[in-house]
Structure 1
Amino acid sequence: MITLDEARAMIAVARAKGREMGLNPLSVVVLDAGGHPLAFEREDGASPGRFEIARGKAYGAVMLGMPGSVQKARAEEQPFFMGAVNGAFGGRLVPVPGGVLVLQDGVVVGAVGVTGDTSDKDAAVAVAGIEAAGFEARA
């Protein structure tokens, strides 16, 4: 399980890594294993719609048990499947990198969603936050 303090640490490190990399303003969300938000921050200058994008990236990861990079590949290879899955989840999935699974002892305990820059850079800062909090990341 991810505690609130661990979720906040993930966000703080992800944001710091984004600043170090010179990324655009980021929005970062941490979800628990049931897809419920534990913590969220939107940096100054990030558009207000970024919460839904960050949540959609993380939600797809935790609900499907596959990170955004894998979802993107599935969407390219099997668009009907991913479209149907997204429909089943009320259109809440954003199947691109930046949705990263959080694992503890090999078990999915949540996901981090980051948005604001390119999807690959979003995923990189999510991984940094997850690992700094003592968890395993699957991007």
Structure 2
Amino acid sequence: MDLETARTIVAAARAHGQEAGLKPLTVVVLDPGGHVVAAEREDGASIGRFEIGFGKAYGALALGQGSRATMARAEQQAYFVGAAGAAIGGALVPVPGGVLVQDGDRLVGAVGITGDTSDHDEAAAVAGIEAAGLTARVD
């Protein structure tokens, strides 16, 4: 995940949010190692949103699945998801909005978005990823 690609994802995700009339978003883009490549917090976004967006993206990378799938797993295996969150220092937010980013078969990072409903956050992430010519993995 290079900086220009990450910036494209952020801009397109924010544009999607504005067009859809979403609440102020925070967008966090990570490389496959969990390092922040780009992050933006829109005016009016509440405090703690960076950490929530980071947790959605980082958790997706840590478990190898989108945060929507982690939510479903938490409903079935609450102890596992709780323990996994503790094992990675609490950086796991198991609700939609954390999306893995693929370039063909290669994992290139993850996007975490927060600010509106989790379903809307996820839709903005997918829009940003697809605008960059990459594939979003929510499963």
Q: 1: distance between equivalents of 2:31 and 2:94? A: 18
Instruction: Provide Cα deviations, 1:94-128, integer angstroms capped at 9, x if missing partner.
Output: 01100000001122110000000000100001000
What is residue 76 of structure 2 aligned with on the other side? 77
1:30 matched to 2:29:
yes
2:109 matched residue in structure 1: 110
CA–CA distance in structure 2, aligned partners of residues 85 and 53 of structure 1: 16
Paired AA for residue 127 in structure 1? V
Q: Which amino acid aligns with 1:118?
A: T
Give the fraction of aligned pairs with identical amino acids, expressed as a percent.
Answer: 63
1:7 and 1:30 in contact (8 A); partners too: yes
Residue 91 of structure 2 aligns to a residue whose secondary structure is coil
Deviation at 1:65, TM superposition (A): 0.8
2:18 corresponds to: 19
1:51-105 per-residue CA deviation (whole Å, 9 max, x = no partner) reads: 0000000000111110011000000000011011111001110011000000011
Moved over 3 A (4+): none
Amino acid across the alignment from 1:36: H
Q: CA deviation at 1:47?
A: 1.3
**How far apart in 1 are the matches of 2:25 and 2:114?**
6
Return the TM-score normalized by structure 2.
0.97
Structure 1 unaligned residues grouped into runs of 5+: none
Measured on the aligned residues, the alpha-carbon RMSD in Å equals 0.6
- Looking at structure 2, the residues matched to 109 and 8 of structure 1 have their Cα atoms a distance apart, in angstroms, of 14
1:46 and 2:45 matched: yes
Q: Structure 1 stretch 101-110 or stretch 19-28: which is displaced more?
A: 101-110
Structure 2, unaligned runs of 5 or more: none
Q: CA deviation at 1:48?
A: 2.6
